[in-house]
Amino acid sequence: MKPRVLVSREVFDETLAMLGEHFDIESNQADIRRSSGELAAALADKDGAVISTSDRVDAALLDQCPRLKIVANVGVGYNNLDLPAITAHGVMATNTPGVLTDSVADYTFGLVIATCRRMTEGEHYLREGQWKGTYLKQMLGMDVHGATLGIIGFGRIGQTVAKRARGFDMNILYHNRQRLGPAEEARHEAHYRGKNDLLREADIVVLLTPYTPESHHMIGAAEIALMKPTAVLINVARGGIVDDAGLIEALAAQRIRGAGMDVYENEPALDPGFLRLKNVVLSPHLASASEPTRKAMANTAARNCIAALTGSTPPNLLNPEVKPRR
């Protein structure tokens, strides 16, 4: 009998074909969202799972899934996984690093430019029929080229954003849990700052840090108060890193110039306060959503699942200390 694998959300046909060579698959091509109880029920008789970052995997779910050996997350961020609980249950966990780096860096830059140059505000103005002619002081924004960019979270994606920034002649500051060595800093033309100093100095602050208990509300009213009144904040990392209510209040009071947001606390629910503001650019968690990248993410997750259930070590194992179930 082939191992049984659940694919929790819609994936590409080629991903299903890869998995189908090895497994009996239950897929969800209708892309119906499941409650955690429904997900647990669907996983109760499965050996493997290819899941999305909106599926939560924790002890309560795992207790109901005695056969499960691998949870392959389609995404690099894995705050939806309770890794200690997964490891304690003898289950392997994997993510999809690397394949989305460039697409997320591209999108980050798109959001930086859209926010600084008020692109979506301009589009709304046009669509509402308000454009009566061009004049000198119309919808003035700030320049991206030559500005000081502060990147909080200087891993793969942060470093790739820095590469884009060099092309825009930007002054690059970074903050990271671990400071890079001098040679690496020189290679990225990036200068280390403590978090508060970075917030004080940057014209554009980009968040690219993982969401953990330590990074919960890393940016709230107190941190925003440190930023220049002309600065903008960009969150493409995870909801919860920013205190959304605090940001909305700061934007409404124009304590900073603007924000570009791709991720939110409690998404897909959105704090309606955002919708009332003109100085925020909003998108629905799209940073990795180019077709080739989303295919690469799904196929990477499939490869991790195949490796785990055919006796190999998955390439992107997050818990190498796990003692896998048999």
The residues annotated with a catalytic role in the active site are 238, 267, 285
Beta carbon of residue 241, minimum distance to ligand DGY (angstroms, whole number): 12
Shortest Cβ distance from residue 81 to ligand DGY (Å)? 11
Tell whether residue 75 is a contact of ligand DGY (CB under 6 A): yes
Which CB atom, from 228 or from 285, has the smaller least distance to ligand DGY? Answer: 285
Render the burial of 117-143: b for 16+ CB within 10 Å, e for the rest.
bbbbbeeeeeeeeeeeeeeeeeeebbe
Binding to ligand DGY by residue 76, rule CB under 6 A?
yes
| Candidate segments 9-17, 22-30, 61-69, 73-81, binder of ligand DGY by CB under 6 A | 73-81
**Piece of 75-83, 130-138, 245-253, 271-279 that binds ligand DGY (CB under 6 A):** 75-83
Restricted to residues 109-168, the positions that interact with ligand DGY (CB under 6 A) are none
SS3 category, 50: strand
How much is the CA Rg of the chain, to the nearest whole Å?
21
Provide the token pair at 310.
């055919």
Length of the chain, in residues: 326
Spatial contact of 288 and 105, defined as CB atoms under 8 Å apart: no
Considering only 72, 100, 151, 242, the residue that binds ligand DGY (CB under 6 A) is 100
Total chain residues near ligand DGY (CB under 6 A):
6
Binding mask 257-296 for ligand DGY (x = CB under 6 A): -------------------------------x--------
DSSP 284: S
State which residue, 190 or 263, has the beta carbon closest to ligand DGY: 263
CB 264, CB 236: distance < 8 Å: no
Nearest distance from C-beta of residue 80 to ligand DGY, angstroms: 9
C-alpha–C-alpha distance, residues 65 and 49, integer Å:
11
Residue among 206, 192, 8 at smallest CA distance from 104: 206
The answer to the question of residue 241 lying near ligand DGY (CB under 6 A) is: no
CB of 53 to ligand DGY, least distance (A): 4
Q: Report if residue 103 touches ligand DGY, rule: CB under 6 A.
A: no
Please say which residue, 197 or 267, places its beta carbon nearer to ligand DGY.
267
Please count the other Cβ atoms lying within 10 Å of the Cβ belonging to residue 213.
7
State whether residue 281 is helix, strand or coil. Answer: strand
Q: Which of residues 26-55 bind ligand DGY (CB under 6 A)?
A: 53
Give the DSSP letter string of 175-231: E-SSPPPHHHHHHHTEEE--HHHHHHH-SEEEE-PPP-TTTTTSBSHHHHHHS-TT-
User: Please, which residue, 75 or 150, has the CB nearer to ligand DGY?
Assistant: 75
- Compare residues 148 and 288 and give the one whose CB is closer to ligand DGY: 288
Using CB under 6 A as the criterion, which residues of the chain lie in contact with ligand DGY when the complex forms?
Answer: 53, 75-77, 100, 288
